[in-house]
Amino acid sequence: MSLLENKKPEQRLMTEDSIENDPYAIFERAAETLWERTELALEKGEVARISDDAVTKLMTTALKLYAAKTDGENRTFRPVLGNYDEVVTPTEALTAVTEVLRALRLGPMEFGLWSRRRPEDYHDMEFEITKSDNTLK
């Protein structure tokens, strides 16, 4: 029996995670598995088997990571799979976005104020920063 096999399941998980060189590598594996299982649940019409709590945790995780990566790395990337509505339909996107706004007690006005321009609208523009007031021109 190995050292890991002698441990309780919760201790085994902690030990296995600590063996990994990159503690965040699990995101790659988990994302792939979650996506595959989501497709299966949708295909079979079994989404009711996934708890609301699980979906809430996944949505919160996705939002926090996306905001941290785009704001922290000062860049943006496509937040959904596929091109246009190949994977996520406009109805699905608007349903989720509306409920996120509602959960945070935000409305269209706040959404409009915080909306960013799409990178493709300004990626080739040259900006000049003035040293005196540190503003873009």
Instruction: Give 83-103 pLDDT, tens digit per residue.
Output: 888 999 999 999 999 999 999
d(CA 35, CA 37) in angstroms, rounded, equals 6
- Evaluate whether residue 130 is within a structural domain: no
Instruction: Give 36-60 pLDDT, tens digit per residue.
Output: 999 999 999 999 999 999 999 999 9
Whole domain around residue 35: which residue ranges?
Answer: 8-50
Q: Number of structural domains, the chain?
A: 1
- Residue 130 has what pLDDT? 57
Q: Could you tell me the pTM of the whole model?
A: 0.68
d(CA 66, CA 63) in angstroms, rounded, equals 5
The answer on pLDDT for 79 being more than 80 is yes
